Amino acid sequence: MSASKTYLERSKLHANPTAKAFLELMERKKSNLSVAVDVTSKAALLDLADKVGPYICLLKTHIDVVDDFDMDLVEKLTALAKKHDFMIFEDRKFADIGNTVKLQYSSGVYKIASWADITNAHMVPGEGIIQGLREVGKPLNRAMLLLAEMSSAGTLAKGDYTEHTVEMARKYSDFVVGFIAMQRYAEKEGDNFIYMTPGVGLDQKSDGMGQQWKHPREVILDRGSDVIIVGRGVYGAGRDPAAEAKRYQEAGWDAYLERVHQ
């Protein structure tokens, strides 16, 4: 079962170049921490990315919340990704028909495919959404995650919906490399999916708006996920982002070591 294999062992088995490089990076950097930077100015985003950069494997962005977005931001972000050795995940949550998402992924103001190593999509529209995104992303060696579950209270992504999503990921596993999920699913021969889990916090359980935070140890060890995604736990009011990122990196990595050595 892949949960007991190391990230490095799994990287060797991966055919998708981004997933392969990502798993290698995690092992090299000893980090399974992704920081979610939901801030609204270029300066704040770059400042945070520079501060948490040394501790993360993946920077998760919502690029459309940045008021003063321009391509200079992308250039600076990708330079920081190089400097600190992390990848970029634009949490775009595509949700339209194949032809439309193709345009949303490649074009418009953000040109996501040109800079985001990883992006994600909902399975609501059916298989065509993967086909559309894959047409753009595959030639650029990009990778995609499917939203199989969500962390928020009352989510409709569950049961048959989640199972169908996993089947679709298997069908397109050269491009769909994993899931946003709350736990690892039963595996079939050949599965090598990367699981990423948002809703992670060391100090608080809820934000009063539906978000539900779990401890990194529960996420990585008990639930078998691979990457913890942490937002406000790292950059929330009064916090020192670098110190918090270090704390989450250690908590996530300790849980991973415990998992692969048990």
Active site residues: 93
Instruction: Verify binding: residue 229, ligand 5IU, rule CB under 6 A.
Output: yes
Helix ranges, the chain (H): 7-12, 17-29, 42-52, 71-84, 98-106, 128-137, 159-171, 216-217, 232-235, 241-261
Q: Which stretch binds ligand 5IU (CB under 6 A): 49-57, 69-77, 95-103, 143-151?
A: 143-151
Residue entry with tokens 């100090």: 203
Q: Tell me whether residue 19 or residue 230 sits nearer to ligand 5IU (CB atom).
A: 230
Which DSSP letter does residue 120 get? E
Q: Which of 16, 162, 211, 249 binds ligand 5IU (CB under 6 A)?
A: 211
Q: Which two three-digit tokens encode residue 140?
A: 């650029």
Q: From residue 103 to residue 142, what is the string marking binding to ligand 5IU with x (rule CB under 6 A)? A: ----------------------------------------
Closest CA to 91 of 146, 45, 142: 146
Residue of 198, 216, 224, 252 interacting with ligand 5IU (CB under 6 A): 198
Q: Does 232 bind ligand 5IU (CB under 6 A)?
A: yes
C-alpha 65/C-alpha 73 separation (Å) is 13
By CB under 6 A, residue 199 contacts ligand 5IU? yes
Residue 48-87 contact track with ligand 5IU, rule CB under 6 A, x = bound: --------------x-------------------------
Under the binding rule (CB under 6 A), the answer on residue 215 touching ligand 5IU is no
**Is there binding between residue 178 and ligand 5IU (CB under 6 A)?**
no
Q: 3-state SS of the chain: helix, strand, coil percent to 5?
A: 45, 15, 35
Measured CA to CA in angstroms, residue 203 lies from 206, 236, 246 at distances of 10, 11, 15
Q: Does position 34 bind ligand 5IU by CB under 6 A?
A: no
Report the distance separating Cα 179 and Cα 94, nearest Å.
14
Q: Which is closer to ligand 5IU, CB of 113 or CB of 229?
A: 229
